[in-house]
Structure 1
Amino acid sequence: MKRADYFNQAPQLIQHLLGQEELLKQQAEATFGLKIWELVKLRASQLNQCAFCIAMHTTQATDSGESTNRIIGLSAWKDMTFYTTKERLALSLCEKLTNAEVIEDTFYQELASEFDDKSLVTLTIAINAINSWNRIVKMFKPTVEFNDN
């Protein structure tokens, strides 16, 4: 079944989301780094089972210097030793927000020990943004293109 072409049916709205994405990239790079941003986008896409976004963010993570082992290991990151404390906290926040879990004060304190306030706000908005994209893509199902080099 052919679904609506969301890029062409609501171009102003999509341009707004793309502009937000560019601003988030700039803020992520300035606050906590693009590697964490890419890991979070890929992990949220895995949790949401968004094939299009998994393919895209795997490529983007690789392009930003992420290793194949860390990308493969992301689905079991809690059992992998090669993620930093900061990355683990970001991934844990990603899972909690994606799954609409409560953010307890103790967890917030752990986050605040690794991220300053601006970084926490940016990270939270970035997680919200990828979840939004995942839901849009799951609704309209664009063709998945996995660049297998």
Structure 2
Amino acid sequence: MSERINLGKSAPALYQAVMGLEKLSAEAVASADIQAGFANLLRLRASQLNQCAYCVRMHTRDALSSGESTDRISVLPAWRESGYFTEKERSSLALVEAITLISDGQVPEAIYEQAAANLSKDEISAVEWLSIVINAWNRIATSSRYPVKP
């Protein structure tokens, strides 16, 4: 694999701007009373869909350290088929997936309606911003080929 430009080092002001978005997004998540562990699962799910190895490893570790169980982490790619997630969590996961895969049908009305039925406006906003920010991070890490070694 060829060495890539590290976007964080080549444009530190832009990288810091994304860090600022991360901070504001985390504040919105906390303000909406979304648990830190579940927020890490949302980040992990987007990272799985984006195939960002660096972020998958990081958010798996973050989820574990914030109290998420190995079972919930393990079934995350198949969350629809498991009984591990509440309706509120399922709505959040569906919304994160729709935003991550936005080129595939935008954010379908049915997914947004499900979110509106199960989440407050503050929770929807926090989940959407979390998704937007983690997708930016995934693109930074993947295009820079951040190393993922044992």
TM-score by length of 2: 0.89
Distance 2:20 2:98 in 1: 26
CA RMSD of aligned residues (A): 1.5
CA contact (8 A) 1:55 1:145 kept: no
Residue of structure 2 equivalent to 1:119: 123
Q: 1:73 — aligned with what?
A: 75
Indicate if the aligned counterparts of 1:36 and 1:90 stay in contact, CA closer than 8 A: no
Question: Which residue of the partner structure matches residue 87 of structure 1?
Answer: 89
1:39-54 matches, within 5 Å, as: 39-54=41-56
Q: Letter of the aligned partner of 1:87 in structure 2? A: E
In structure 1, the residue matched to 2:59 is 57
Which residue identity does 1:127 align to in structure 2?
S
Q: CA deviation at 1:20?
A: 1.4
Residue-by-residue CA offset, 1:21-74 (whole Å, 9 max, x unaligned): 122112102202323321110000000111001001001111111111111110
CA distances 1:60-117 after superposition (whole Å, capped 9, x unpaired): 1111111111111101111111111111111111111111133344432321122211
Give the stretch that moved more between structures: 46-55 or 34-43: 34-43
TM-score relative to the length of structure 1: 0.90
Which residue of structure 1 aligns with residue 25 of structure 2? Answer: 24
How many angstroms does 1:145 deviate by? 4.9
Check conservation: 2:29, 2:127, Cα contact below 8 A: yes
Shift of 1:138: 1.2
CA contact (8 A) 1:48 1:134 kept: yes
Partner residue in 2 for 1:107: 111
How many residues were matched structurally? 146
Contact 2:98 2:108 in 1 (8 A): no
Does the alignment pair 1:97 with 2:102?
no
Q: Is the 8 A contact 1:43 1:75 kept in 2?
A: yes
Listed as ranges, the gaps of 5+ residues in structure 1 are none
Whole-angstrom distance in 1 between the partners of 2:111 and 2:101:
15
Kept in 2: contact 1:35–1:64 (CA 8 A): yes
1:139 aligned partner: 143
Secondary structure at 1:120's aligned position in 2? helix
For structure 2, the 5+ residue unaligned runs are none
3-state SS, counterpart of residue 65 of structure 1: coil
